[in-house]
Amino acid sequence: MPRIGIVFSASPLSTVMGDKPSEPAMREFLIGLREQGYAEGRNIAIERRSAEGNLERLEAIVRELAALPVDVIVVSGNAATLAAKKATSTVPI
């Protein structure tokens, strides 16, 4: 089963969890996956992580996801993108 790692810079982790998260970007991401025929737990796995505003944690979070491993890492924002590029060169971002 493909596994997606998603990294949030500031959103509290509680807002990105579940199949109807309160965080708008995560909610829309899940809707987009469903429109393409993907359903979490059925044919795709999603690993969610958040630095919850502590941007120094981003690189460690990306390394953790890469070690799971995940097939792709989704990030948003410049800080998360730069941290991801530093943390892994083997997992697509």
**Residue whose tokens read 């969890």:** 17
Angle CA 26–92–88, to nearest 5: 105
What's the pLDDT score for residue 76?
85
Q: What is the pTM of this model?
A: 0.92
Cα separation values, 53 from 49, 80, 81, Å: 12, 11, 15
Q: Write out the two tokens for 60.
A: 């460690």
- Strands 72-75 and 3-8: what pairing? parallel
Give the mean model confidence (pLDDT) for residues 10-24: 95
State yes or no: pLDDT of 43 exceeds 90: yes
- Look at the block and give the residue holding tokens 């460690």: 60
